[in-house]
Structure 1
Amino acid sequence: MVREVMTDEELWEQWKKTHREKDLLPLLERYEPFVNKQLAIFGQTNISPTLIKAKAQMNLIDAFKTYDPKQGVKLNTHVNWHMQKMKRFVTTHQNFARIPEPMVFRISEYTQAEDKLTHRLGRAPSIKELADELKWPLSHVERMQKVLRKDLSLPLYDLDPAQVQSSQWNMIQNMLPYELGDKEVKVFEAISKARKPLSDNALAKKLNMSPFEVRKSRLAIIDKVKQFGQIQ
């Protein structure tokens, strides 16, 4: 006797009852063409195909989680609606600007001065002390501190659960190394395993790299994390 093929809704009902991975897999396989369609549509942008596929898969799972058959809509219609989010994702991230090389040098210069003064003074230096050491205007030091607070803290140290769901961050951690260069992978792994934030100098010593190489790698990692669309 030939076994009848389950409908999309029946596969969804089966997974909804158990929420087990083995019941989710047939549903993901059934809807893989929907993910591949997004790759075909947006694969020519300057966003990595890996990121596009990951985002499409996340949209797909979100669609499964939010589907309500009582609304009288078929599952594939609901999935199609969720896939419309891909256009906004690509539009937002395809022109993501990398930090210019001169800015990387200035950040490296700043952090080295900060580490030097912290070691010398036994405390965090003031803005004026940093300005004197760097021979920068106070306004430049203040601006640099704002840049570092905004861009260099969350993605690499303590992520706020309100900003990134743990399951999404786990996916990023698993996939990110494939998008990074060798030095960037070394920095990312060292930061991920550290029990507390490490300065560029500490990482440089640990990894046998220069502080500038560490800072440049750190910025590249943040760039990639942002392209996943998780950090706003």
Structure 2
Amino acid sequence: MKVLAIDTSNEVLGVGLVSESKVIGEYITNIKKNHSVRVMPAIQQLLKDCETDTGELDKIVVAKGPGSYTGVRIGVTIAKTMAWSLGIPLSGVSSLAVLAMTGSYFPGYISPLFDARRGLIYTGLYQFKESKLQVVMEDRNILATEWAELLKDQTVPILFNGNDVPLHEQTFRSALKDQAFFSHVGEYNPRPGELGLLGLYLPPEDIHSFTPNYIRLVEAEAKWLERQGKKP
């Protein structure tokens, strides 16, 4: 089985090609450029270099969020379009779970995070058990200070990873002291190969109803709900 993995959910653009037994190829960049004009050429180049035709793909796996609203939409839209046009299944994987995979060596809990501005972060809590990634606390949108207080109740070391960790590192160091650990910069980027492996055997989504997982509403939607007297 050959799986194409697509991640445009954050600033990192990642495209990977995997099979049951190996990561065949990966394309990763971490630059501030428009994913919408770069992701399809990246896919085409990766498939060309790996001597793989789109007709040989058996599945599409996409990072479904949370992350950048625009970035998540781009990846999900392209993944849905390709899966539908090729007549192959589609699976979505948490963008935070993909990032957590870079901490597979760590003996404690893993808290991958993306900055969500105004002191907020997207994060969750994961661990590796019997070589498999497991969820300890579900993905959420939360103040970094509040997350740090929640984690103080845990009794194991916690690894923070992701490109936005430096923005909140002092918060976690102050609250958690020796309980807090931080990934090396070389491990900040989520790997599209890991995304493909995570989604390899996940059940397929309904392509037409599959939507991104934003976790929180965009500001315009939240304000509209407030005007309607509803809670966002």
Whether the TM-score (by the shorter chain) exceeds 0.5 is no
Larger radius of gyration: 1
TM range (shorter): under 0.3
Larger RCO: 1 or 2 (CA < 8 Å, sep 6+) = 2
The alignment's TM-score, normalised by the length of structure 1, stands at 0.24
